A and B are shown apart, each in its own frame.
Chain A
Amino acid sequence: MTTFDPYAPSRETTEGKVFSVTGGDWDSLVQEIGATKEERVVVNMGPQHPSTHGVLRLVLELEGETITEVRCGIGYLHTGIEKNIEFRNWTQGTTFVTRMDYLSPLHNETAYCLAVEKLLGITNDVPERASVIRVMMMELNRISSHMVALGTGALELGAMGPMFFAFRDRETVLEIFEMITGLRMNMAYVRPGGVQQDLPDGAYTKIREGVKLMRKNFKDNATLLIGNSIWMKRTQGIGYLDLAGCTTLGITGPVLRSTGMPWDLRKVQPYCGYENYNFDVVTADTCDVYGRFLIRMNELEQSLRIVEQCVDKLEKLHGAPVMVADKKIAWPAQLALGGDGLGNSLDHIREIMGTSMESLIHHFKLVTEGFRVPAGQAYAAIESPRGELGASIVSDGGTRPYRVHFREPSFNNLQATPAMSEGGMVADIVAAVASIDPVMGGVDR
């Protein structure tokens, strides 16, 4: 009989002895497990665990240090976004979807808006400048998302330095976001029909400088990790999943591309005018964590290339509209820059309050009630940093979405955890999960 251990209190259950370990030295745990003949231990890892990439719960069955079975428990961050969105109008929907996968808000918004635009039948009416801004913002977002994937992925494997570099570089992107949208995340910037507002003065310069800075800074993490013998040992040959495994499990994104399959929706099924940009689809042929790491590293450079082309295009399109011309869909006014930051457009307020009754009615109807979307269903898919992000949207002809469902790559790809880690060592499941890069806000929605 051991004494009470405050860090690992235990109780008897019908399934055997259960320890609730919290931290510190688990002397009694080690002693008692050592004393039993039982080789099999079931470990409940998470949902509050620093290396499960968010509130992910992993139930591991271990034989010694080898994993024999893994089950994922999700739902700890379920927010009911798909339900809530049915009670708001189509424009307000962007405010919800942007909060799903909180590391790639602009991809969520764009997928949603592309589906709504498909239902409205205005896909080809979205102004070119709006599409270019969307592409630029999505690529910047891909960089910031990959930065978190690389930084936290390395941190979870015990490497702290890369995290500092990654978050430093992510800051560059977030500052650009803050300048353009006013917010660093959850911006609701992409709206059905275009984008919320045009770029502010000085944006081109800031983005160009940001790209230059990031291109220089990205080298830090590359020199720190690529070829690093500890990093290679922790990632090479770990989390193996080949092409057949990916197709049967519906896996897309960097995990699929790490099998050598050059499948990137930006190239194969272009949207937002991606066919007009020069960039390469990055692949690896190792099917392992290292391959996925290299893909993310190299995609950073490809994203920078696209951002540069976007800025060139935007300079040529300066002053062009960023919202569809149809006044029954477009938001009535753009924000204006006041002395104390962004505010309402005074010209617009003067018009609706002082000049035109019809404008006021139109503004009121469009803002409070919203526009109607013809009945039907549409599916729009884009390449998010984690794979295919698909928006299945159904309209009943009203001012609110009838049903919005997101095919979240994080949700789908997390199913690969058992295939990647069963039979491996317990430490490697951390690397495998990090290489999937699930964002629990997207998994649970």
Chain B
Amino acid sequence: MSDGMFGPKGTGDTSGYGGLVAKAATAGSSERPYGGYFDEVTDNLERAYPEFSDAIERVVIDRGELTLHIKAKKLVEVAFILRDVLKFEMCMGVSGVHYPEQIGRELHAVYPLLSMTKNQRIRLEVSVADTHPHIPSVVEVWAGNNWHERETFDMFGIIFDGHPGLTRILMPDDWKGHPQRKDYALGGIPVEYKGATTPPPNDRRSYK
């Protein structure tokens, strides 16, 4: 958008001190036993869902949390089973994450699930390519994800197929670009108010 004084360049580490940035490690699958209720959850899911090994790419246990990495096209099937059989009645929304260096799976969608019946939490993660950012919507499974998916679309440009009305929710309807992506600079947007335009901060005289 702009390459003035603000916004990340190069590594994104703008502190100017470290220089070194450890790349986000995409951990491989965890080994069994997972510990806690995680074995029970994965066992139950395998029993209830015969295509488990096909749909679940990885099972990751990290920092006491279970993450199931799921293929995008299987998401809704798995979601229904998680809700109806494993009693994950609540989906705590969806959060997008952009990893530009993971070629072919740049955009991730993360769904924290909560089971009030069993007092358990797990997390689903779906990753798709930037060139084809389509994930099936889970609004028919958890209606409360409606706004969360709109927000993730707004901020990351992930298109949730089957969403009842996928429009921008926080940014104006005619906004260009998806602000939370890593290649979208911070600042540098001219502000229009009642016809007059205030230049972006990095173009203002006092900052030059």
Nearest-CB residue, chain B, relative to A395: B24
Q: List 17 A-B contacts (CB under 8 A).
A: A247-B89, A248-B142, A249-B144, A251-B144, A269-B121, A365-B17, A369-B18, A375-B24, A375-B25, A379-B92, A379-B112, A390-B93, A394-B97, A398-B12, A398-B21, A403-B180, A407-B93
Nearest-CB residue, chain B, relative to A445: B170
Say yes or no: A376 contacts B63, CB within 8 Å: yes
Set of chain A residues within 8 Å of B170, measured between Cβ atoms: 74-75, 78, 444-445
Given contact pairs A375-B24, A396-B23, A397-B25, A415 touches B144 in the complex (Cβ within 8 A): yes
Nearest-CB residue, chain A, relative to B97: A403
Nearest-CB residue, chain A, relative to B123: A379
State whether the Cβ of B62 lies closer than 8 Å to any Cβ in chain A.
Answer: yes
Given contact pairs A78-B170, A84-B186, A399 touches B63 in the complex (Cβ within 8 A): no
State whether the Cβ of B81 lies closer than 8 Å to any Cβ in chain A.
Answer: no
Minimum distance in angstroms from A248 CB to a CB of chain B? 5
Say yes or no: B147 contacts A368, CB within 8 Å: no
Minimum distance in angstroms from B173 CB to a CB of chain A? 10
Say yes or no: B142 contacts A375, CB within 8 Å: no
Set of chain B residues within 8 Å of A83, measured between Cβ atoms: 179-180, 186
State whether the Cβ of B116 lies closer than 8 Å to any Cβ in chain A.
Answer: yes
CA distance A369 to B16 in the complex (A): 8
Say yes or no: A396 contacts B15, CB within 8 Å: no
Set of chain A residues within 8 Å of B8, measured between Cβ atoms: 87
CA distance A396 to B116 in the complex (A): 31
Say yes or no: B95 contacts A378, CB within 8 Å: no
Say yes or no: B144 contacts A397, CB within 8 Å: no
CA distance A325 to B24 in the complex (A): 27
Minimum distance in angstroms from B63 CB to a CB of chain A? 5
Say yes or no: A379 contacts B121, CB within 8 Å: yes
Say yes or no: B17 contacts A381, CB within 8 Å: no
Contact mask for chain A residues 268-279; partner B; CB cutoff 8 A; 1 contact, 0 none? 110000000000
Residues of B with Cβ closer than 8 Å to A?
8, 12-15, 17-18, 21-25, 27, 62-65, 67, 89-93, 95-98, 110, 112, 114, 116, 119, 121, 123, 142-148, 151, 155, 168-172, 179-180, 186
Set of chain A residues within 8 Å of B98, measured between Cβ atoms: 403
Minimum distance in angstroms from A34 CB to a CB of chain B? 34
Say yes or no: A412 contacts B148, CB within 8 Å: yes
- Which of B14, B62, B92, B155 has its CB near the most chain A CB atoms (within 10 A)? B92
Set of chain A residues within 8 Å of B90, measured between Cβ atoms: 247, 250, 252
Set of chain B residues within 8 Å of A263, measured between Cβ atoms: 116
B13: which of A80, A251, A399 is its contact (CB, 8 Å)? Answer: A399
State whether the Cβ of A204 lies closer than 8 Å to any Cβ in chain B.
Answer: no
Set of chain B residues within 8 Å of A86, measured between Cβ atoms: 12, 186
Set of chain A residues within 8 Å of B91, measured between Cβ atoms: 250
Set of chain B residues within 8 Å of A167, measured between Cβ atoms: none
A392: which of B62, B110, B168 is its contact (CB, 8 Å)? Answer: B110
CA distance A247 to B144 in the complex (A): 8
Minimum distance in angstroms from A445 CB to a CB of chain B? 8
Nearest-CB residue, chain A, relative to B90: A250
Given contact pairs A375-B22, A376-B62, A397-B24, A411 touches B15 in the complex (Cβ within 8 A): no
Contact mask for chain A residues 366-405; partner B; CB cutoff 8 A; 1 contact, 0 none? 0011101001111101000000101010111111101101
Minimum distance in angstroms from A265 CB to a CB of chain B? 10
Minimum distance in angstroms from B49 CB to a CB of chain A? 21
Set of chain A residues within 8 Å of B171, measured between Cβ atoms: 75, 78
Given A377-B67, A397-B22, A412-B148, 12 more A-B residue pairs with CB atoms under 8 Å apart are A80-B179, A86-B12, A87-B8, A87-B186, A248-B143, A250-B91, A365-B17, A376-B62, A390-B112, A397-B25, A398-B21, A415-B146
State whether the Cβ of A119 lies closer than 8 Å to any Cβ in chain B.
Answer: yes
Nearest-CB residue, chain B, relative to A78: B170
Contact mask for chain A residues 101-133; partner B; CB cutoff 8 A; 1 contact, 0 none? 000000000000000001101000000000000
State whether the Cβ of A89 lies closer than 8 Å to any Cβ in chain B.
Answer: yes
CA distance A388 to B147 in the complex (A): 16
CA distance A261 to B8 in the complex (A): 46
